[in-house]
Amino acid sequence: MINKLSKTNGLVIGGVVLCSAVLVLTFLVAVPFSANAAWCMKDSDCGQDYWERQFCEDNDVYGVYVDRSCFQPSDTSVGTCTESRTDRLIDSCASSQICTQNYFNSASCVGEDNEGSSTPGSGSDSGSTYNSHSYTQCYGSSIYWYDSNNSRQDLYQSCAYNQSCSGNACVDSYTYPTQPTYISHIFKGCVNNVSYWYDSLGNQQDIYQNCGLTGQTCQNGSCVGSIYTITPTPAPAPTQAPAYALHYVTKCNSNDIYWYDSKDEVQSLFQTCSDDNQCTFDTCGDGRCSNELKCDGSTCAADSADYIKYCASSAAISETATKSENPFLNLIKKWYVWIILAIVLIILFVIVFRRLSSNT
């Protein structure tokens, strides 16, 4: 009697161990699908390339350039995103300049360029051939490219708030403990014998005093000299034509992105929104391109090459992503696992029932 019960208990324990082994084995098979991966089919799916930081080396300015690409094996239609970092030369400092590491992971050549490498009109071939990016020069608190016709082009480098542009380079100025507070009407200056208020950013504001009305001379923002009969005449308004920018802003035009100048006139093409995939719905909105994949037959036929390449791959990725959400949940959703468990439980039930029946 005791031996039969011991054998029955052993069979029950063995069945439980067998079920546990089946579950563990199936779980281990499902685990590899849970790894997170950035799926892609082309380089643009992995995002834009960018400069990570700048540093000085051999008195030159270098930068770490991050190149994002899609690694796709030859026998698959879906790949994974990868990043590669390379050191690239940004600017060569002249012998009279020093490469200085600045704030915000940036670097620049500090000092006057006595060699004239960034001076407009310098060089033996000046004026003979047009060059788009001929030299760099300060404009406000930033450095811009200029062509060989001395016309300002796109931005080369924007100086930090605690820097100023001098000698065609961003140099450190006074470092404020915090961001300086904006102050209106902080000092006065003279324009056409009229004293004007200026704010802390150097912007001209309203009139403080018209020295011409009192027969005086404006010096350092104040009217000096003897006063004679006041003739109330309006002060001439200062005229400052805004600086013209060729590539001022990008906007959508004809379902693509174009450059617009500062006069809101369309210029050259910046980016085309149409890709080489017939199954995408290509649009341009809010200055950005959108390539929405449509696998419902509205953009491409179900038997077309693009549909087979992209839509079938998308369905495979979606199925793989669903499987990788939770390995255990995916495991218990498989029908054959429940069939195996049912068979094992039935066998255990029959064995236990027969053993108990024989004992009685």
The pLDDT value given to residue 14? 62
Average pLDDT, rounded, for the chain: 76
90-115, pLDDT tens digit by residue? 888 888 788 888 766 777 777 776 65
**Lowest mean pLDDT, pick from 80-94, 201-215, 306-320, 321-335:** 321-335
pLDDT at residue 28, as a whole number: 45
With a threshold of 0.75, does the pTM exceed it? no
* Residue-level pLDDT at 117: 45
pLDDT in the model for residue 147: 83
Taking only the tens place, the pLDDT of each residue in 34-68 is 333 467 888 888 877 777 788 899 888 888 888 88
Mean pLDDT of 213-224: 89
In terms of pLDDT, which residue wins out, 105 or 226? 226
Q: Comparing C-alpha atoms, which of 114, 113, 121 is closest to residue 171?
A: 113
* Sign of the CA dihedral running 172, 173, 175, 181: negative
Angstrom distance (rounded) from CA 138 to CA 132? 17
Is pLDDT of 2 > 80?
A: no
Domains of the chain, by residue range, sit at 2-36+324-359, 40-172, 182-239, 249-322
Tell me, what's the pLDDT at 146?
84
- Which of 19-33, 71-85, 123-137, 271-285 has the largest mean confidence? 271-285
* Cα 164 from Cα 169, distance rounded (Å): 8
182-200 mean pLDDT: 90
User: Where do the DSSP E strands lie in 93-232?
Assistant: 98-101, 107-110, 135-139, 142-146, 152-158, 163-166, 169-172, 187-191, 194-198, 204-210, 217-219, 222-224
Residue type, 68: R
